[in-house]
Every structure is written in C-alpha cells, then in structure tokens.
Amino acid sequence: MSSQPEYILEQKLVEQLQQLGHKKVTIRSEADLIRNLKTQLEVHNKKTFSEKEFEKILNHLSKGNVFEKAKTLRDKFHFIKDDGTSEWIEFISQDHWCQNQFQVTNQVAQEGNFKNRYDVTILINGLPLVQIELKRRGLEMKEAFNQINRYHHQSFNSGSGLFNYVQLFIISNGVNTKYYSNNAKQTFKQTFFWSDEHNNNITQLDQFAPAFLEPCHIAKMITKYIVLNETNKILMVLRPYQYYAVEKIVDRVRNTDKNGFVWHTTGSGKTLTSFKASQILKEIPKVEKVVFVVDRKDLDYQTQKEFDAFEKGSVDATENTAHLVKQLSDNTKLIVTTLQKLNTAITKEKHGNKIDKLKDKKVVFIFDECHRSQFGDTHQNIKKYFKNAQMIGFTGTPISEVNSIGKIDGAPATTNRLFEDCLHKYVITDAIRDDNVLKFSVEYVGRYKEKEGSNTYIDTDVEAIDTQELLESPKRLEKIADYLIAEYGRKTHNGTFNAMFCVSSIDVLQKYYDLFQKKKEENRHNLKIATIFSYGTNEESKDATGIYEEPELGMVAEPQTQYGDSHSRNVLERYIGHYNEMFGTNFTTKDSQSFYNYYNDIAKRVRSKEIDLIIVVNMFLTGFDSPQLNTLFVDKNLKYHGLIQAFSRTNRLLGEKKSQGNIVCFRNLKSATDDAVTLFSNKEAIQEIIILPIEDYIELFNSALDSLKIVAPEIDSVNSYQTEQEKFEFITAFREVMRVLNVLKSFADFDFNKLEMDEYEFDGYKSKYLDIWTELKLLKPDSQGKVSILDDVDFELELIHQDEINVSYILSLLANLTDSNLKGDKLEKKKKEIRDILSGDAKLRSKKELIEKFIEENLPHISDGDNVNEEFEKYWNKEKNSAFEKIATEESLNKDRFRDAIDDFLFTSKTPKISDTLKLLEIKPKLTERNNIGRRIIQKVQDFVEVFIDGVAS
C-alpha cells in the first residue's frame, strides 16, 4: 500500500472527530482563534462579554508560561464588569467534564520566529487544549515529536500565547499513535500508546480516536488525569494502565467496602498512580480520610519531593507521631505518613482517645510496596482499630504461596490474603513491550572454558561453590573486586551511568569496601565509592529472598545488642568518615537524624551521579529509583520478589545510550532468575525480559550491516547520493547498526573481530553519517521554517559521542605528540589519528577546522607538551574574538548588546526571539527583511556558542 499523504490522514481524522461530537470550526489565524474563544466562553458560562470585559479575560489568559497557564485553566477568574458588578467565570468544567464545548479545527497558522501551521487542534471552550501532529504512513513518529519541539521554540509563544494552553499532544503516522503531556523537557521515550483495560495497545489512528479523543474521555483525561508537578513545574499525564488502576480503585471505594490491590511492575510509576488515586478518593463525601502509607526508608528526600509536588504540605516527614495524630484528628483529608508512625499511633494508648472518633468512619489506607512483610502486622492492627477501614495495596512483586516467608493466622501471608482481589495488573512484560522499562542483560561470571579473545578474567567456579568459607575467601573476593574495577567502564559507558554492588552480609561488605579502598590508594582505580548498612541480622541462606526487612532508620542509634555489634557500627562510622571527606559533609551514626540524613544524601548523590559505586547488603535494593544507575553487580543469593526488586534498580529509562539494565552475577542465579521471571509474568517471558546472548546480538549486528550495505555498499557510496530519500535510508540503516553496537559494547566478551565489519570501516560510515548531520545543520530554513524531510529525523548522536572525547582530551593527545619527537610519516600518521577523532565525534566536528589550524600553524612552534594548553587558550581566545568582531561587523551589531545576547543565551539555553535579536542592530532594517535578518543572527549566535564555548574549558 502506498504511503497515505498527511492531508488525507488529516481530513479523515477531522471527519471522525466530528462524528464523535466535536463541532468543526474554521480557524486560520490568531484573530480567528480569539474571536472564537470569546464566543465559546460566553456559551460555556451562559454570559455575554463586552469587548472591554473580554479584553480583561484575554489579558488574564495571556499571562504566564505553560505550567502557569495550566493552573489558570483550572482556576476560576474574577473580574469587574463594565457596570461595576463582580463576575466569576470558569475556563473548563472539572467536576462535570462532559459539560464543556468541544470543537475541532485544522491548519491554524501561527507566526513567531517562524510561521507554522498546526495539523489538527481540539478546542475546549475555545482554548486549544489538544494538538495533533500527523506524519504520512511510513515515516517515524519521532519526526512529529521533533516537529512539536520546534513549535515550542518557534511559535507557541507568539501573540497571546494561547497555544501554551495545550495540555496534550497526539502524534501519529496512521499506523502508530501516541500521546503525551505538554512538557518541553521530556524525551520521545516519555510518549505513550493508549491501551484497553487489558493492556492491549490501540495504535491505529482510526481506533485511537474513539478510544481517547471522544469528548467526554479527553476532557476527563485533562481535568482528572493530568498532574501539575509543583517541584519541576511540569504537567504529567497518566499512562493507560495508571488510568485504569485509578478508575478501578475509585469504583471499589465508591461502591464497596472491600479491599483490593494493584499489581504494577517495579518502575511503572506506582507512586504517581497511588497518589492520583488518593487525590480523587479524598473528594468522595463518604470518605473521611485517605492515608497514604509508605515504609520509613522509602520516604527519602526524593519521595518527599514527589509527594509534596503533587499535594503541597501533605507529607509529614518528621519523627513525631504526635503530628500524625493531629492530622488524623483535624480536618486534613489526605495524609502521607510512614508505616512505623501509623502503627505507633494506633497501638499506643496515649494517642488512642485523640483519634477514637475515626474508629467507625470510612478511612481509606493506600499502601505503597505492599509486598513487604511488615504490612501484614500493621494490616492486622489497622483492622482491629478502624472498624470501617478500606485497604488498597500497590506492589510490583505480589507475594503468593510460592514466595511467601510469613504467616497470618497459621496460613502463608500472601498479598491476596491481605488485600483480597487484584484490581488491575500491568506486569514486567507489558512494561518492556511499551518501552516503560528496559530489559535486563544478565551475565554470570565464573570459571569458563577460555574463549578466544575473552575479556572475562575471573576464574572462580560459580557452579561448584556453595560453602560460606569458599564464598568469602579473600582470594575470591579480590578477584571479584579486580573484575569489577576492570569492567566498570564498559558497563557504565565510561561513567556515563553508575553502578550498585549488592553483597551477602555486612562482614563481606566490609571486606569488599576495604579492598576497594586499598586498591584506590594503590592508584588501581579512582571510583567514588559509598556504602550504607544497618547493623542487624547477618544470616545468609540459600532459601532467603535476598531482601531482609530493615530496622527503622530512626532507631539505629539505640544501643541495644539487637541492632548488631559495636564493631559493625564503628566500621560504618569509619566509612561515613571517608564519605564526609569526599563530599565535605558531617554525618554520623551517633545521632539517628544524622544517619537518616546520610541515607538521604547518598540517595541524592547516586541520582546525580556524584557516586560511581554504592555497596549495599539490603538497603536501596527496593523502592529506590535512579535512572542514572544502569549496572548491578551481585554477590549474594536472591530469589523471587527479592531478585526482581534488586534487578529493577537498573532498568529505568534514560536516553538512547541506556539500552538495558546490566546485571553481573558472581553467583549462579540462573535458575533463581528463571523462577522469578516465571512467577511474576510467565515462563515464555524470559526471552522478553532478559536480553539475548552476545552471539544473537552479533547476528543482529550482521543483519543490520547487510541492510546498510544494500543502501551503501561502500563508504564512498554516500558521496553519490542525490536525493533526500537516499540520505534518509542511509541514516535509518546506519542508526540501527549503531543501536545494536551500543548493546554489544556492554558485553564483557565483545570484540570487533567477531563482527563482519571492522572498527575502521565503522568509523568511515560514522564519518559520512555525521557529514549528513552537519550538512543538514548548515541548511538555511525557508520562510516557513522548514528545511527538508530530514529536518526532524533523530540522529541519536548520544550513541556516537563519548564523554571522555572532548577538547581537553584532544589537547592531552597534542601534548603527548609534542613530547614524542616524532618526525615525517610517523608524525603525519599521529596527526591523522587526531583528525579522525575530530571527524568522528559529533560535538567536536564544529571545532575541527580551528583545531586543525592550531595543529598545523601553532603546534610546530611549541617545544614542551606542558605549554600546549596555555598556547591553545591564547589561540582560541584570539580566534573567538576575531569571529565575534566579524559577526558584529557583517551584521552591523552593537557589540555590547551582542555580547549580552550571547551571555543570555548561555544562561537560559533558550533560542532568542527575533524581536529581541533585532534590538542588537545599529540600523533598523526594512520591515520586509526583519524576519530573515533575525533568523540569520540567531543562527550565528548559536553557531558561535557551539564552536567557541560549548565543551571548551575556560
């Protein structure tokens, strides 16, 4: 079937939306949009506005950015009418979401820095709240996503900024359709398919429209299922499985007194789902209170921020149970508290009489991570105290009779027994299919038959060892430490990500930590390593899940022997001392709050990648989210929910380079992994959850290479391309080669010699790929702001750029070259190698010409490598000033204002507006030339910053 032109897709969609109940309206300009807005607001509010009154409304609507406008949309507006009376109006009905005015239009033109036409727009009460961008069948949806990103920079802010009221974007090529919230910070991976209740994706546009864009449903999504995140000032829309879970919970609470639980896999956003459910439940009149319950160690700094972002002031992070009792006894409807404080509040007699009035009221308790064994005890206490309590649990790894380790009334403590029915299910295979979490790459490191070219150096026999003495032998631990140091860079993409190492006991942790410290002092590595543990139970058992319930962090300072011996505590105090030296902090175990702050500080620094490796026994193996973490090294027994929880620390999404979560096992967990995957999805799912062995990826690479050779048999074939279609086919073919290579490079046994393409040939194709990218960047946009069909293709340059390859790295190579005293062909060969590095890195290509000039003209006159940096800085500043003067002269710019404009661009990272750019000119341009001149100057500012400032140390 031939590709369906975009205008036919557009026409069909508009017709379908009309049939669903959206009225067709013709809007071609901002003036049309404003006229229609006045009419629709009058209809919705059953009032008429004079021009002067409407001007007040429009002025109010024009204020603020996307986030502030989202608040304006949901608030009522008060103004004084012409006759002096007071008036309130609303912009959208939230309680009766079907009772709004729904319209559809297409091809609305907006002109900001560029003139853009938007494909299909859904208006609610006259405001553009849903924007739909279409691409013809066969094109990537990512192009539509990138196009909307350009609109953010080019035209959404223009005029009255009414297009900043868009709440949801829809992108489609007819075959695939996705939606996402208006949040310019997000990536394409944060776009979602809609699905039915059973997680079957609805991808075809003609099926998506009735399921998602039907007037009542789209209004409900906007009014009920978008969260305004106060911390990050962004809009967040729920994914379909989150929507269905909340709907099921609300129905359960409205219509029954039964408990229930939601099984949503780890990493699928349970916190947002459960909190949104809490928000809606608190509005139900018969619900007295909603209490959101988390474990003490999960209420870390990040979680507090998230909760507080959703509902300001709802989080009680204090140690004081009295504060919780006060919230329970006053009119606070939504409470976020810890399991430990809740248990204290209902079991201690002194608190009882203050909250007795709730005993017979309908109080809904929502438990996060309800698979934990402590919830069984608290669950029983709540049931005894609150006669009409309704309990809803959330878990990614429910407890069944197979993996239960506790008892309730003599029977296995299972999630079903505690919470009754499963209300909604979204398992790990669903999440991987939807690209909501990553697959795992699991490698077992032990005594292998040596493979030719193998990078696996450790020879410990995983299969044979099961005695504690052998598992903890100094020789074995040292080999594992050496292996981890050797493999760290490969697994984390040279420190682009970070890693966790979980071990069997506190004693073993101490041995590993001391080994790493010793090797650091010997300059064997420079990793920033931190650790934390509670000095409690040390047992290691083959039957354990691998996850122990931690003592409450607030209690670790107690002197009782049940919390471990003094030696462990002294050791931890010493390790915290190392941490304090590393980061200039002042934490201690001698004060419970200080230790809790230490826990939070480690969590923050792992998330911000200030810590390279964190060593743990149990802490951080559940409930801890950090997208920066991509590798888990394992030297402990794990089973069932403990295994899935631990592995899941690594599989959060973060850009193209993070293609999987890496698991490196120093014990034989193969059967335990298979059992866990089978329990939490099904036996067939193992292939879907664990990535293929290296041999399969080599086959995939060679297959992708075959496809590349069809469009470009030789490297120089790219030189003969005449059409954009040829270039497009080459880009997509080579990009697939890069994607597979990115996964291959994470395997310990990867070697280019195993592929049907050597590294030299790959670099040649990569150079041509970057040539097309550079050529595309240099093309000047036309008056519509459109360059070519390649304009919105994602080159995924992060797969090419290596963080260690930068200007400083090039200068170190030049310093070595200066000190090497090479002559003739050998010198030229080294120079060529450096030129190839410049050509092969996306971020250095813009600087290539200038660095090559320095190599040819300046380097021969430098005799000492130590002087290269200083001489380069002089050269660079001279070239930078020369380029600055040239632009200012060519464009007749005021130099002071031009310098300020560059500083502003560096500070905000926002593309300057044409109107602001024109203020740099010494001479006012003709009206007809303004846009072209403005765009040209903006491009020169961006190029100047990219060449002379980005990636260059001052």
Q: Please determine, for residue 462, whether its predicted confidence score (pLDDT) is greater than 60.
A: no
Q: Would you state the pLDDT for residue 229?
A: 85
Phi, psi of 532 (to 5 degrees): -155, 140
Q: Please determine, for residue 787, whether its predicted confidence score (pLDDT) is greater than 70.
A: no
Q: Would you state the pLDDT for residue 776?
A: 73
Phi, psi of 925 (to 5 degrees): -80, 165
Residue 232: inside a domain, yes or no? no
Report whether 504 contacts 635 (CB < 8 A). Answer: yes
Crossing angle of the two packed helices 759-778 and 824-840, in degrees rounded to 10: 60
Mean pLDDT, range 326-350, rounded to an integer: 84
Together in a domain, 520 and 615: yes
Residue 451: inside a domain, yes or no? yes
Together in a domain, 200 and 293: no
| Counted domains in the chain | 5
Q: Last residue of some domain: 398, 426, 454?
A: 426
Angle formed at CA 255 by CA 250 and CA 257, multiple of 5 degrees: 95
> Could you tell me the end-to-end alpha-carbon distance of the chain, in angstroms, rounded to an integer?
56
Q: Which residues pair with 134 in a beta bridge?
A: 172
Residue 335: inside a domain, yes or no? yes
* Dist CA 480 CA 494 (whole Å): 19
Q: Please determine, for residue 209, whether its predicted confidence score (pLDDT) is greater than 70.
A: yes
Q: Last residue of some domain: 770, 799, 828?
A: 799
* Dist CA 472 CA 510 (whole Å): 11
Q: Last residue of some domain: 648, 666, 686?
A: 686
Q: Would you state the pLDDT for residue 916?
A: 83
Q: Please determine, for residue 707, whether its predicted confidence score (pLDDT) is greater than 50.
A: yes
Residue 233: inside a domain, yes or no? no
Q: Which of 165-174, 186-195, 773-782, 797-806 has the lowest mean pLDDT?
A: 797-806
Q: Which of 251-255, 398-402, 622-626, 878-882 has the lowest mean pLDDT?
A: 398-402
* Dist CA 160 CA 58 (whole Å): 8
Dump pLDDT digits (tens) for 102-119.
999 988 766 555 555 778
* Dist CA 176 CA 141 (whole Å): 7
Together in a domain, 213 and 311: no
Residue 92: inside a domain, yes or no? yes
Mean pLDDT, range 378-393, rounded to an integer: 86
Phi, psi of 499 (to 5 degrees): -140, 160
Closest CA to 655 of 190, 61, 59, 325: 190
Report whether 306 contacts 271 (CB < 8 A). Answer: yes
* Dist CA 496 CA 628 (whole Å): 8
Q: Which of 157-161, 602-606, 705-709 has the lowest mean pLDDT?
A: 157-161
Report whether 110 contacts 102 (CB < 8 A). Answer: no
* Dist CA 634 CA 547 (whole Å): 13
Q: Please determine, for residue 729, whether its predicted confidence score (pLDDT) is greater than 90.
A: no
CATH number at residue 142: 3.90.1570.50
* Dist CA 459 CA 466 (whole Å): 16
Q: Which of 275-279, 454-458, 566-570, 719-723 has the lowest mean pLDDT?
A: 454-458
* Dist CA 220 CA 759 (whole Å): 53
Together in a domain, 495 and 616: yes
Mean pLDDT, range 64-72, rounded to an integer: 94
List the alpha helices (DSSP H) in 472-505. 474-491
Dump pLDDT digits (tens) for 537-583.
344 443 445 444 444 333 332 223 233 446 788 899 999 999 999 99
Mean pLDDT, range 763-772, rounded to an integer: 83
Q: Would you state the pLDDT for residue 953?
A: 54
Share of the chain above pLDDT 70, in %: 82
Higher pLDDT, 231 or 280: 280
Instruction: Read off the pLDDT band of 665 (50, 70, 90).
Output: very high
CATH number at residue 764: 1.20.58.910
534-to-284, 504, 506 alpha-carbon distances in Å: 41, 13, 9
The three-state DSSP-derived secondary structure of 318-338 is: CCCHHHHHHHHHCCCCEEEEE
Instruction: Read off the pLDDT band of 795 (50, 70, 90).
Output: low
Residue 435: inside a domain, yes or no? no
Together in a domain, 783 and 713: yes
Instruction: Read off the pLDDT band of 941 (50, 70, 90).
Output: confident
Q: Would you state the pLDDT for residue 499?
A: 97
Q: Would you state the pLDDT for residue 73?
A: 97
Q: Please determine, for residue 370, whether its predicted confidence score (pLDDT) is greater than 90.
A: no
Q: Please determine, for residue 169, whether its predicted confidence score (pLDDT) is greater than 60.
A: yes
448 contact partners, CB below 8 Å, separation of at least 6: 454, 456
Q: Which residues pair with 394 in a beta bridge?
A: 262
Here the tokens at position 102 are 């729904």
Which residue's entry shows tokens 């969609």?
Answer: 13
Instruction: Read off the pLDDT band of 303 (50, 70, 90).
Output: low
6 contact partners, CB below 8 Å, separation of at least 6: 119, 134, 135, 136
Q: Which of 412-416, 439-443, 860-864 has the lowest mean pLDDT?
A: 412-416
Instruction: Read off the pLDDT band of 170 (50, 70, 90).
Output: very high
Together in a domain, 268 and 125: no
- When mean pLDDT is compared over 226-240, 285-299, 389-403, the highest value belongs to 226-240
Together in a domain, 444 and 382: no
Q: Is the pTM of this model over 0.85?
A: no
Q: Would you state the pLDDT for residue 305?
A: 66
Together in a domain, 76 and 172: yes
Together in a domain, 634 and 531: yes
Instruction: State which residues form the domain around 873.
Output: 807-948
Q: Would you state the pLDDT for residue 585?
A: 95
Query: Please, what is the average pLDDT of the chain?
Result: 82
* Dist CA 622 CA 415 (whole Å): 17
Dump pLDDT digits (tens) for 684-694.
566 677 888 88
Q: Please determine, for residue 472, whether its predicted confidence score (pLDDT) is greater than 90.
A: no
Together in a domain, 582 and 540: yes
CATH number at residue 346: 3.40.50.300
Mean pLDDT, range 597-610, rounded to an integer: 93
* Dist CA 26 CA 43 (whole Å): 18
Residue 935: inside a domain, yes or no? yes
Q: Would you state the pLDDT for residue 459?
A: 44
Q: Please determine, for residue 298, whether its predicted confidence score (pLDDT) is greater than 60.
A: no
Angle formed at CA 874 by CA 936 and CA 878, multiple of 5 degrees: 30
Burial group, residue 872, by CB count within 10 angstroms (0-12, 13-18, 19+): buried
Together in a domain, 646 and 515: yes
E strand or H helix at 901: helix 895-908
Dump pLDDT digits (tens) for 8-22.
788 889 999 999 999
How far, in whole angstroms, is CA 519 from its chain's centroid?
A: 34
Together in a domain, 191 and 261: no
Instruction: Read off the pLDDT band of 803 (50, 70, 90).
Output: very low
- When mean pLDDT is compared over 292-296, 810-814, 931-935, the highest value belongs to 931-935
Residue 300: inside a domain, yes or no? yes
932-to-115, 423, 792, 939 alpha-carbon distances in Å: 12, 58, 21, 11
